[in-house]
Amino acid sequence: MNNFQEVISKLVNKYGTNDPFEIAELMGIQIIYLDLGNTYGFYRVYKRVKTIVINNKLNEWEKRFVCAHEIGHAIYHPDLNISFLKKNTFYSVGKIESEANKFAVHLLLYAKNLEDYDTKFAILKENGIPYEMEMYL
């Protein structure tokens, strides 16, 4: 079992769900919806208050994926300010974003039998996961 599967299994067993909105609530992370322009969402901690901010212009499937992605950041990168790193350093955030994407895909597909689907495209489509995430299957 890889690290993502192990972490997700523990998370789902602890909270009794793989729904990212329920998990965020049970983890004490508040969710706020704002018009973020071209930004899908972000995770931040300010004065010990954990918050996921999601673009209110996204559809429900996109919001669900963004929430799962940001939970990945909350678990794997709780102290990193990705926006700051992107704007003010030469630090490559590609690996960090890739980890959050992989976490989100595996969380949303938890307990699904992928052999029940004809193609990877079908897995993504039927579970509301962006097609660009195919590499994480």
In this predicted model, what pLDDT tens digit does every residue of 23-69 receive, in sequence order? 999 999 999 999 999 999 999 999 999 999 999 999 999 999 999 99
| Secondary structure string (H, E, C) spanning 80-97 | CCHHHHHHHCCCCCHHHH
Q: Which residues does residue 50 pair with via DSSP β-bridges, in sequence order?
A: 45
Q: Where are the domains of the chain?
A: 3-130
- Residue 119 has a CB neighbour count (10 Å cut-off) of 9
Q: Which CATH number fits domain 3-130: 2.102.10.10, 1.20.1250.20, 3.40.640.10, 1.10.10.2910?
A: 1.10.10.2910
Torsion angle in degrees (nearest 10) through CA of 62, 36, 93, 11:
-50
% of the chain residues with pLDDT over 70:
88
Q: How far apart are CA 28 and CA 26, in angstroms?
A: 5
pLDDT above 80: residue 2: no
pTM over 0.85: yes
In this predicted model, what pLDDT tens digit does every residue of 97-114 receive, in sequence order? 999 999 999 999 999 999
Hey, what are 85's tokens?
Answer: 């790193």
